[in-house]
Structure 1
Amino acid sequence: MIKVDKLSFSFPQKELYKNITFTLEEAQHCAFIGTSGSGKSTLIEILMDPDRYLFEGALEIDPACKIGHVSQFPQLDSTKETTVFEYIGEEFLKLQDEITAICTEMETSSDLDPLLEKYQLALDALEAIGGDDFESNLNKKLNLANLMKLKDHRVSDLSGGEFKLIQVMKEMLRRPDLLIMDEPDVFLDFENLNALKNLIHAHKGTLLVVTHNRYLLNHCFNKILHLENTEIQEFDGRYIDYNFSLLQTKVELQELAVAEQEESERNEKIINNLRVIATYNSEASRGKALKARVRFQERLEARRIKAPFVAIKQPAIRFDMDNEVEDATVIKVSDYSAAFDELLLENVNFEIRSTDKVAIIGPNGTGKTTLLRDIFSHHQDAITINPDVKVAYLSQLQGEMLKDSNTILEEFMDAGFNAYDEVRSYLSNYGFEGEIVNQKIASLSGGEKNMLQLAKVSAGRANVLLLDEPTSHLDTYTQIALEKAIEAYKGAILMISHDFYSVVNGMDYVLIIDDKTIRKMSMRKFRQMIYARHFDRGYLEAEQNKKAVEMKIELALKDTDFERAKALVDELEELIKLL
């Protein structure tokens, strides 16, 4: 369907791809992964409109291939009073109206040939999207996503997550040969994420989906495209098998690297000895031996394994603080309520202690972000903040905390750094190196902007962190680095997140929004609730065992105990078969 062969492309300030090659075939469900800013969205734009870009290499797209697209940032025309059915079925309803109008015109026209031609074209277009079965197919999609109850609701009344699902359904019902979706999971609550998983599974066409969501990656795809450091790697199989393959390769490469390093050091000693001998013995044979050894050393260096997909550098995220609050209440919420057009929350009561790590969990549109913003501004009488507390805030609306017209350097000089060199050194820990620090924030990807927000939060050295969807747009390597930073942090965290892994790996307990109020739930009960609804029996235990073995492999590699590492890899392979 699509074949890319040795494609290279650069912006003036950055090389994105160097001789990348891959194919997309019929009915494949392909996840497109890679670190933030590696060029995934740009590659999608090239695939959708190759004539806009000057690239080297070949891009072959079947001329009959119909491409659909779900944007990373969908926009709704709020001026239209459109129901969910009318929005999803817009093309279907338009064709029906066109056919009706042609039939009416035929009743009075004396020249039927052009009308018959128009009539046939409209029928063909209707058939291409399912014809008379369209409404039935639409209802099936709504049922799959558990959104049939919204069929006659106005689109403008939907939550952001519900609208994202509606957009996915609309594109799927157009029956494209290839549907490209750019982070369709961002900000979806767990119920809507599960609905998206169901829609992906039921889709018969080819999918190319940019995602960093570990739940979707582990459950939805049979092919992986991984873009990293201008190179691309394709893997036919599940993401969990791809990760196992990377770990297996990592063990092999590290063992080879240690052997090569030892060989290189032995050879370097021989060269040094030959050089010493050559200073007092000028025989030609000595010179030849030295040259031969130098050439051998050069060959050793040249064949050192370069593995851009195996050892990807994680950002060094740290959350330090200037002063530690003794065991005390840092945030107290008493009889809080929030409303817009309707009541969102009422009679909300909870308190956060100085070392608590707490996730707020609830469906899209239930007031979580409003609550977090009100805590940050603490203008409400219902919210009390300990006077010894310094609060830092990460917003899911990145423009709230970052100024698009600033360069990255300007943003951090505004944030209180004293010198450009100090900013550059600090930002290098977060992956912003070289000329990228002079780029406008508006030009950054969603993941890069969230990484920049994390860097600002860290620079604030606060003892309470308010994090609204901190993992959104972040690649999986950064998500794991963030989890480690949260685990090591000594202060309090109140976090809104729909990322199941971030919640279960880092939080002490959760606050669940239920019937317009909030109740506390232990992590054990939260895990049980999620797994009972969405996972097979025994999945949790198998996944925990898998994680434990992976940690043992990492420790074995640190000790250069390759025999133990390889034995553990075999054990891991058996565990993966259970997932």
Structure 2
Amino acid sequence: MSTIQLTHLTFAYPGKPNLFTDQSLQFDSSWKLGLTGRNGRGKTTLLNLLRGKLSGTGQIKSPLSLNYFPQSIPDPTLQTWQIIDAISPVELWLVQRELAMMNTDDALLYRSFSSLSGGEQTKVLLATIFADDTGFALLDEPTNHLDIAGRQQIANYLHSKKQGFIVISHDRQFLNTATDHTLTIEKQQLVITQGNFAAYERAKAVKDQTELAEQSKLKQEIGRLKQTAADKRQWSRSREGDKYGNPHKKGSGAVYDTGFIGARSARVMQKAKNLEHRLDQSIEDKSALLKNIEFVEPLKMNYQPDHHDTLLRVHQVQLYYDQVPLLKESVSFDIKRGERVALIGPNGSGKSSLIAAILGHFTGDITGTVDLTQTATRSQVRQFYPDNVGDLASFAEAHHLSHQDLLNNLKKLGVERDAFKTPIQALSSGQQKKVELAASLVTPTSFYLWDEPLNYLDVFNQEQLEDLISTVQPTMLFTEHDAAFIEHVATKKIELFPR
């Protein structure tokens, strides 16, 4: 197999600090690399550097063509097979072969691309890339638009491929199935770990513990050196004062030995300066010791439990649009105080519609009963939030939230301070999602209703939420496609099926 090399790579956007500084690495083109790291660290940027869409200093060498997902679609109203013909030189039967490996009916090739679901479009574009077995795939978040079953299907497909690839994803279970190496961006440094994401986490935990122990030792050493330097400096000052004597002390005029004392004082002072220099050098040498440890501060949740034991009862509920039932069968369940209930099911099974019905926002018809305790205050995380506009201070005031608590949670979620003055509608998609999430967290409430809260969040954010929810144990109803999050958070699951 071939080797792809990065040598002395440095890159920064104009007016911004370096994303990468003098980075060198190489990887085999047969490796299945999961690319991870905090949001804003440059994952998509690295893919664009690899494929020549951006340029920095240093060299990038690849003997293979680098094929990027998602591809640019010239005209989504065209038939899907025409789209494939426009974006790739591969023969159609090869794409059909790849779709068969994903257990996907190739009849969708003869529908307009715009009529396909997001998951179907993802499968077509992936099949087109891997139909070219001479290239190396760069996959930028292919798990978007995929439900749990679709993610597992694609993960199994990628795992079965002989070709290598780099894939960006924040779905831990997906990465653990699909990849055999992990490439991580750790504060400007690129680190390759043999094994999937779980193997990387294990190796990182061991490394972090070692570095933390070294840091503790370093702090003790620095404290000792600082005290020694201070003692020496104080002694030299006192010796310097002896040259002139103490006018308040009898027989203190030491005129005869001022030269001796001054010389000795100067030597001690120089020793103190030398010691300070060594201290500064030691601090400088060790300054990068913790550069790869991710300190993620715990989030805060303003959960205020309701006094009722049962907050929600759903009995024999069916949803209709134009008299057509949305659910395969009516649904019944209840949620007690402290339960975290996950609504699961494929895309189109009615999860978001059911949450809307519970909140009284469903625009179709409903049969059955929804009994939501009236005293239970509610807090949402929505998939779409076009009404989140204006500056954060005005947003907090309009929603009766603590502005400082909102900013604190945003900072802990990784939103940079320079974004705090930016209008919400001008923030990135990920930052806007974090505003929606942070607002829900600081809202005083007894019942959380979250619709796909992990969209745009990196693994560290996901683990923050898991730790928070496990600690606080709030009452919650949520939908999510990340299987790991569901397993860590949910106390029970309600599965829905599409009609």
Amino acid of the structure 1 residue aligned with 2:340 = K
Q: Does the C-alpha gap of structure 1 residues 368 and 480 become closer, same or farther in structure 2, counting only changes over 3 Å?
A: same
Q: 1:456 and 1:147 mapped to 2: Cα distance? A: 40
Q: Is the 8 A contact 1:408 1:440 kept in 2?
A: yes
Q: Pairwise mapping of residues 404-483 of structure 1 onto structure 2 (< 5 A)?
A: 406-408=390-392, 411-417=395-401, 424-425=407-408, 427-441=410-424, 444-483=427-466
Q: Does the C-alpha gap of structure 1 residues 313 and 252 become closer, same or farther in structure 2, counting only changes over 3 Å?
A: closer
> 1 or 2, which has the higher helix percentage?
1
Task: Work out whether 1:205 is the aligned partner of 2:175.
Answer: no
Q: Does the C-alpha gap of structure 1 residues 425 and 487 become closer, same or farther in structure 2, counting only changes over 3 Å?
A: closer
The alpha carbon displacement at 1:510 in A equals: 0.5
RMSD across aligned positions (CA):
3.2
Q: Does the C-alpha gap of structure 1 residues 423 and 247 become closer, same or farther in structure 2, counting only changes over 3 Å?
A: closer
Q: Pairwise mapping of residues 311-460 of structure 1 onto structure 2 (< 5 A)?
A: 311-321=293-303, 323-340=304-321, 343-345=325-327, 346-378=329-361, 382-397=369-384, 399-400=385-386, 402-403=388-389, 406-408=390-392, 411-417=395-401, 424-425=407-408, 427-441=410-424, 444-460=427-443
- Equivalent in the alignment of 2:103: 146
Q: Does the C-alpha gap of structure 1 residues 348 and 361 become closer, same or farther in structure 2, counting only changes over 3 Å?
A: same
Identity of aligned residues (%): 18
Deviations 1:401-454 (A, max 9, x none): 644xx45555445433476x6754453333334212233545545443332222
- Equivalent in the alignment of 1:300: 282
Q: Is the 8 A contact 1:360 1:511 kept in 2?
A: yes
Q: Is the 8 A contact 1:69 1:179 kept in 2?
A: yes
Q: Does the C-alpha gap of structure 1 residues 57 and 225 become closer, same or farther in structure 2, counting only changes over 3 Å?
A: same
| Equivalent pairs, count | 465
Moved more, 144-153 or 380-389: 144-153
Q: Does the C-alpha gap of structure 1 residues 77 and 383 become closer, same or farther in structure 2, counting only changes over 3 Å?
A: farther
- Equivalent in the alignment of 1:570: none
Q: Is the 8 A contact 2:186 2:292 kept in 1?
A: no
Amino acid of the structure 1 residue aligned with 2:57 = G
Moved more, 2-11 or 504-513: 2-11
Q: Does the C-alpha gap of structure 1 residues 89 and 492 become closer, same or farther in structure 2, counting only changes over 3 Å?
A: same
The alpha carbon displacement at 1:459 in A equals: 1.9
- Equivalent in the alignment of 2:184: 226
Task: Work out whether 1:191 is the aligned partner of 2:149.
Answer: yes
The alpha carbon displacement at 1:362 in A equals: 0.8
Q: Pairwise mapping of residues 23-172 of structure 1 onto structure 2 (< 5 A)?
A: 23-50=26-53, 53=54, 56-62=56-62, 65-71=64-70, 79-80=77-78, 82=79, 87=80, 90-91=83-84, 129=90, 131=91, 134-135=92-93, 137-148=94-105, 151=108, 154=111, 158-172=116-130
Deviations 1:152-185 (A, max 9, x none): 7845565433332233223322446122211111
Q: 1:15 and 1:449 mapped to 2: Cα distance? A: 24
Q: 1:149 and 1:6 mapped to 2: Cα distance? A: 42
* Secondary structure at 1:226 match in 2: strand
Q: Which runs of 5+ in 2 are unaligned?
A: 241-263
- Equivalent in the alignment of 1:484: 467
Q: Does the C-alpha gap of structure 1 residues 160 and 312 become closer, same or farther in structure 2, counting only changes over 3 Å?
A: same
Deviations 1:298-347 (A, max 9, x none): 122112252566420224322223x4212432222233223458532142
* Secondary structure at 1:334 match in 2: strand
Q: 1:184 and 1:402 mapped to 2: Cα distance? A: 27
* Secondary structure at 1:10 match in 2: coil
When normalised by structure 1's length, the TM-score is: 0.72
- Equivalent in the alignment of 1:249: 207
